[in-house]
Structures are given as structure tokens and as C-alpha cells.
Structure 1
Amino acid sequence: MKKTTLTLAGSLIALSASVSASYADKLTFYCSAQEEWCQVMARGFEDATGIDVNMTRKSSGETFAQIRAEAVNPKGDVWWGGTGDPHLQAAEEGLTEEYLSPMRDQLHDWAISQAESAGNRTIGIYSGALGYGYNTDLLAANNLPEPSCWKDLLKPEYKQHVQMANPNSSGTAYTTLASIIQIFGEDEGFEFMKGLHANINQYTKSGSAPIKAAGRGESTIGIVFMHDAVAQAVAGFPIKVVAPCEGTGYEIGSMSIVKGARNMDEAKQFYDWALSVDAQNLALEVNAFQVPSNKGAKTSDKAPDMASIKLIDYDFVKYGSSDERKRLLQKWDEDVSVLPQ
């Protein structure tokens, strides 16, 4: 009996050590930026720390839904990238962890403001303006006028020529919906979305997919963040970038630590590292043209000039709330998505 008890105790100790070792020096990293940027961030952190990173790339809306679904048994440690609205909603729902990084004094005010509005459960890592891009070759081939405003996209000649993501899965598309409502008011904004729906050829899952389709010549116009359109132009595709004449919304791309993360120490290490100059400068290696949140990080000379764009006073608190997001998405589902095209 004594020998059996000792053997059992030894087995339990070995099992405990094995479980502890399985979580040691590892990080489960949910990423909602472009694939190349996600990869360079994961590998960069591994090189800087020796911590193994398991990275999964999904859109902002998909990642938010996954973190919510896993709330009872969290599997992710840190969520990096994607529009700030779902990060704010996750914070409001208690799905993310409060953390005050020692790197905060190196950040722009807008990044700190994002953190403070969420009870320090998220923080700004980059910023970018919303707009669209179009394929100049396809525009000419179809004898279409050059668009320069949001309302231009409602013209009947653009039928089947416009693509955007689905706001249920894409943070970019939710920012589009929230921006249009703030620019035109809710009633007129939803009339705009109905008119736009008549010209949409496809609602994609990913926010950047519409401009990639335009770059490949599969669609003419893609509604995206302007830096994603710039990336296609820099890659050599015939894409022209548009900052809409009425004004436009913008994102504060964000980062959050998952509540109850299994690898909390590693998550905080990543959080601090991701706010550093070295980590944010990695964006330049993969043609990510957002404005970084660290004041000392470099911004590409090809990035959209935020100072020259007519930006609205985007209400991140209101449109980053869970109830408002649910209400607007339900209204879009019921009033817009069901209409014939």
C-alpha cells in the first residue's frame, strides 16, 4: 500500500511538472492584422525572447467571437491587431485583462486614450484612415467615372463593381458602417448602406480582401483602410487610393491580453515588446503602412498622410460598446443584407 501510494504521488508530481512545462515559455498569439505582419511579429518575439509562439490569424470580428466563446476556458494569451472597436467591446464584457505597461510613456496620446477608455484593458498600437481604392485599368475598361466621395459609390453605373467586407466578421467593415452613420446620421446612413448594397458584388470575410480583389482585377472598387490600398499600389497593382470628400472614420488598431491567459507572464512580455520601437518598426519589412503608436517608431513615407485627410471625430466609446455594435449589426442584417442586388 505504501509503495503504491508513493508511486501514485510520484506520478502526480511528474504529471504536474509535465503540465507546467507544457505552458512554460510559450505564447498563444491571436493576430488580426495582415498575415505577413502577424508572421513577422510572431517570429520577431521568438527571436527577441526565446519564447515559442503559436500564432493564429483571423479577422477582428472572428477573433472577438472566438475569445468570447473561449471565455470559460481561455486558450489564447494575447490579441494583437485589428480595429479597436471589438477590442473595446471585449474589454467592456470583461474578456480582457487590465494591464499598465511600462512602455506607455513612449506612446502617442491617441494610444493612451484608447487604453483609458477601456479601463486599461486594451491599448493603441497603430492608426489608419478609412477609404477605398479602385483599379484604374478596370475603371477605364468599363468607361466608369473616377469616384472621389462616399456618395459616388451609390451611382448605378457602379453596380457589381464595389466590394466590401461583412461587418459581422470584419472590423474594417464595422468601422465603415459606424463611420457612415456618424457622417450622414443614422437614418441617412442606413439609406446609404442600402444604396451601396445594390452595387456590391461580394461581402468578404476579411477586411483587406476587397482591395486585394481589385488589385487582381477581380473587382473594381474595394472599401478598406487606406493603408491596405497603398500596400496594393506599392506592390505594383494599378490601384488609386481615395480619401472620401465628405470625410471619413479611422481606426486605432489595438492589443489586449486575454482574461485568464494561461501564459500571463509571456503575454505581458509580448505586450511590452510590441509597444517598443524595434517591434513597431517591423511593419516596414512587410509594407504595413499604418501610423505606429510609439513616438519613436518609423512611419513609411508612402503611408497616407493623416494630417491631410478629413477625419471625423470618431466616437470610439459609443461605437466600441457591445450593445451599440449588436444593435447596428442586427439592423444591418435585417434592413440591408436581405435586400436583393
Structure 2
Amino acid sequence: MKALLAVGFVLAMVFGTAAPAAAQKTRVTIYTALENEQLAPFKQAIEAAVPGVDVAWLRDSTGVITARFLAERERPQADMVMGLAASSLLMFEQANLLEAYTPRGVEALKPAFRDQAVPVTWTGMDAFLGVICFNTVEARKANVAVPATWRDLTVPALRGQIVMPHPASSGTGYLMVAMWLQLMGEEAGWRFMDQLHENVATYTHSGSAPCVQAARGERIAGISLDMRGARERTQGAPIEVVVPAEGTGWDMEAAAIVRGRPQAQTDAARRIMDWVATKGANELYARSYAVVAYPGITSAPANYPANAEARMFANDFGWMASNRTRVLAEWSRRYEAKAAARN
């Protein structure tokens, strides 16, 4: 009994001593679509650069985070969003859900990564592009050539051999659908997707999964992310990472402060936003992305397609945000039958 009391006394002393230090930290809840492996280094970097802040992540795919955030609009639970598609943040901006704040040093960023609205509500971090991960070994077996254009994916030999992200779940999926509709025009864009659908085996709920499946030889082609394609090829997968000649869809990851949160969280979030715009933060982004907001930082990995940045389609983020609900409803009406089961 004495031993138990002694242990209890020691624990009380430990937690009693630690409590004041913990109380000094402000917990900031951040909704994010960053990859799981990015969460720990981002948390470490933020907390080192912004003393007194405790970062708490809530992570899911872009579509899921976007839907959750909008569902919570009357009673927001997030203090910030980070690593979420700019097209989603524009929706939040249009709905007046974001706090106006201009980070220190934001003028140094590339213009495309800066919110052009007044007042500023979001700041860009990095860009991700859509590519085709094409398994050349499996393609030879099926006598299919490496695609040069998007329409090359509609050939009969690829029936059941394409995997693509679901646009309501994955930011990669939505940027591709939005690009086809803008590039081809709505009528031709839907007609193309009807033809593509004939060849699609399933629509995954992850932007990376289609490339992983193609890399493993489970399917011939996966419409996926640029960096995932480069990574899979570097790890030895027999894939070509293709950026079609017409150009490719892209979106940027961005960060913003949520409107209407407690003052302590808002103040801490402003300090984090100052960090978001720094060169040091962009060097961290560059570990995962080839295109970042801060000029002069280049980090294209091995096997990254040389023509990728030059083939980034002239994307209209305002169109993506304004038409998202309508486009996703029509897409689901046409193609939901092949959606993968959710885990």
C-alpha cells in the first residue's frame, strides 16, 4: 500500500510539474489532406518555428475534408486548413468561412500562389499535377502503345485496364475532371469521360492508389499524381510517367485561417500562416512536391517528367470552385456505379 501511495505521489509530482508547461501551449486543430508521411515533419517544423503552439491534425482526402468542413460551417471545429486544394479554399472563401489575413513576406511568392482577392484569405504552398502512370510491361502483353494524348486512353484494348481517383473523394480526381471540361468544353468533355468510363475498372478514393496499382501491374494505366509516379518508377516499377500533349490538370495546396474561432487559436494560426509563406517552409514542401510557391526552389526528383510544369493547363480555380457541386453531381449520376467500396 505504501508503495502504491509512493508511486501515486511521484506521478502526481510529474504531472503536476508538467501541467503549467502544457497549459502554456495553444492547441491549433488543422484540417489537412497532406500525405500521412508529411504530418510528423510538418508538425515538428511548425512547432519549432512557432513556439507555444501544439498542432493537432485531422487528416483525410481532399473531398472528404472539404465535405466535412462545409458540413460544420455553422459550428466550425477546425482552426486552420492546410495542404488542401486551393479550389476547395476558394469555395470556403466564397462562403465567407475564412479569416482575412495577409502573411508576412507573402509578396515574395510566385503570383499564381497568392490569393488575388482583397482581403487575402489563403496562401498557396505547392502544386500537384495529374499524370498517367503507364505500366509498359503489361501494355506490351496487351499490345497497347504508351499514350501521348488523353484520348489515347479510350482505345478498346484498355477496356477494364484504367484506374482513376473518384473526384468527390480525391482532389486529383476533381482536378482532372475540371481540366477535361475546361479544355474540351463541357459537351465534348462529358463525351470523352463517357468513353473513358468504358475502360475504367474502378474509381478509387485516393489520388495515389491508381499509380500504385499500375506500378504493381494490377492495371495498365493509373491516372494519378506526378510525385507518386516519379516515386514508383524510382523504386523500380516498370512505368512511364506521362503528361499528355494537350496539357494536364493541376491544383495547388494552400493554407488558411478559419473564421469565427477563439482568439487564442486565431492569433496562433496567424503566426503559423507567417511560417507558411517563408522560404524555409517552402523548402519543406519541396521534399514532397516539384513545384512550390517560393521562387528559385527546385527539387524535381529522379524520374520526374521533364515537361510537367510546362504542360500545366491554364486552370481557372474560380471555375473549379463555382462549378464543383454541379460537376460532381453530374459525374456521380453518370459514373458512380464503378466507385470503389470505402474502407
Same fold, judged at TM 0.5 (above): yes
Q: 1:118 to 1:71 in 2, by over 3 A?
A: farther
The Cα of 1:43 is off from its aligned counterpart by 2.2
Matched with 1:154 is 154
Are the counterparts in 2 of residues 193 and 336 from structure 1 also a CA contact under 8 Å?
A: no
**Count of aligned positions:** 315
Output aligned runs, 1:39-54, within 5 Å: 39-50=40-51, 51-54=53-56
Counterpart for residue 230 of structure 2:
230
With 71-80 and 155-164 compared, the bigger mean Cα shift is at 71-80
Residue number in structure 1 paired with 2:182: 182
Q: Which amino acid aligns with 1:109?
A: P
Identity of aligned residues (%): 29
- Greater displacement, 197-206 / 260-269: 260-269
Q: Deviations 1:232-271 (Å, cap 9, x if unpaired)?
A: 2233322211111222222122212122234112212222
Could you tell me which runs of 5 or more consecutive residues in structure 1 were left unpaired when the two chains were aligned.
1-17
Are 1:292 and 1:299, in contact at CA under 8 Å, matched by a contact in 2? no
| Contact map agreement 2:241 2:305 (CA 8 A) in 1 | no
Report how far residue 60 of structure 1 moved. Answer: 1.3
1:152 CA displacement? 0.7
Q: Deviations over 1:263-301 (max 9, x none)?
A: 11221222221221212212354xx13311012534335
Residue 266 of structure 2, aligned match among 245, 260, 264: 264
SS at match of 2:273: helix
Q: 1:234 to 1:269 in 2, by over 3 A?
A: farther
TM-score, structure 1 normalization: 0.84
Q: Secondary structure at the match of 1:27?
A: strand
Equivalences for residues 128-207 of structure 1 within 5 A: 128-207=128-207
Question: 1:333 — aligned with what?
Answer: 332
Give the C-alpha shift of residue 58 in structure 1.
Answer: 1.1
**Distance verdict in 2 for CA 1:87–1:118, change over 3 Å:** farther
CA distance in 2: counterparts of 1:141 and 1:43, whole angstroms: 47
CA deviations on 1:43-67 (whole Å, 9 max, x unpaired) are 2212333422111221111111111
Q: Which amino acid aligns with 1:329?
A: L
Give the aligned partner of residue 9 of structure 1.
none
Unaligned 5+ segments in structure 2 are: 1-18
The CA distance in 2 between the partners of 1:139 and 1:47, in whole Å, is: 48
Contact 2:286 / 2:297 at 8 angstroms: preserved in 1?
Answer: no
CA RMSD of aligned residues (A): 2.4
Assess if the C-alpha contact under 8 Å between 2:122 and 2:254 holds in 1: yes
Contact 1:117 1:317 in 2 (8 A): no
Give, in whole Å, the separation in 1 of the partners of 2:82 and 2:222. Answer: 24
Could you tell me how far 1:82 is from its partner in structure 2? Answer: 3.2
- Helix, strand or coil for the counterpart of 2:201? strand
Change (3 A) 1:122 1:49: closer
In the alignment, what sits opposite 1:277?
279
1:133 alignment partner, SS class: strand
**Letter of the structure 1 residue corresponding to residue 326 of structure 2:** R
Query: 1:99: Cα distance to partner?
Result: 1.1
Structure 1 CA distance for aligned equivalents of residues 106 and 330 of structure 2: 38
Displacement of 1:128 after TM fit?
3.3
Native 8 Å contact 2:104 2:277 kept in 1? no
Once the two structures are TM-superposed, the CA of residue 221 in structure 1 deviates from its matched residue by 1.2
